[in-house]
Amino acid sequence: MNNKGKNPALSTAKSEGFANISVASERSGVSAKMIRHYEDIGLMAKVDRTMAGYRIYREADIHILRFIRRSRDLGFSTNEIGNLLGLWQNRRRASADVKRLALRHIADLDKRIAEMQAMRTTLQTLASCCRGDQRPDCPILEDLAS
């Protein structure tokens, strides 16, 4: 049977090695909810559907989802992931472009880490001055109220 360009039945798609959304989710580590979301916002191209409208995923799609997942785990924003995907799929990319994205993200992380470190340091100082007993006197509150 030649199904080129036609929407298959679900059983046909499965027997041809396509995955439905829950299998794609399992295999990529991205929730079905987020898979649909990434399609909505255009991070992933729309995938094919069965006759009944079920999304079907081929290996390449699942590979993209894993790429997204890994990027997300490294803290990249949706936008940055879009850029990374574009570079990944562009055979004529310059690795300099990828590296620039990565370094910018590192700088971003550094900034956020430094902010939180500063908070941490202040809080630690205050907490270490607080007796932490039944009495109300508390340098932490005094600082907050200052």
Binding site for a copy of itself (CB under 8 A): 63, 66-67, 70-71, 73-75, 84, 87-88, 90-96, 98-100, 102-103, 105-106, 109-110, 112-113, 116-117, 119-120, 122-124, 126-127, 130-138, 140-141, 143-146
With contacts defined by CB under 7 A, name the span among 30-38, 87-95, 118-126, 131-139 that binds DNA.
Answer: 30-38
Residues 6+ apart with CB under 8 A from 107: none
Sign of the Cα torsion 67, 70, 72, 75 reads negative
- Applying CB under 7 A, among 32, 98, 101, 130 the residue interacting with DNA is 32
25/21 Cα distance (integer angstroms): 6
Q: Which of 115, 118, 95, 119 is nearest to 107 (CA)?
A: 115
Interface residues toward DNA, by CB under 7 A: 9-11, 14, 20-23, 31-34, 36-37, 50-55, 72, 77-79
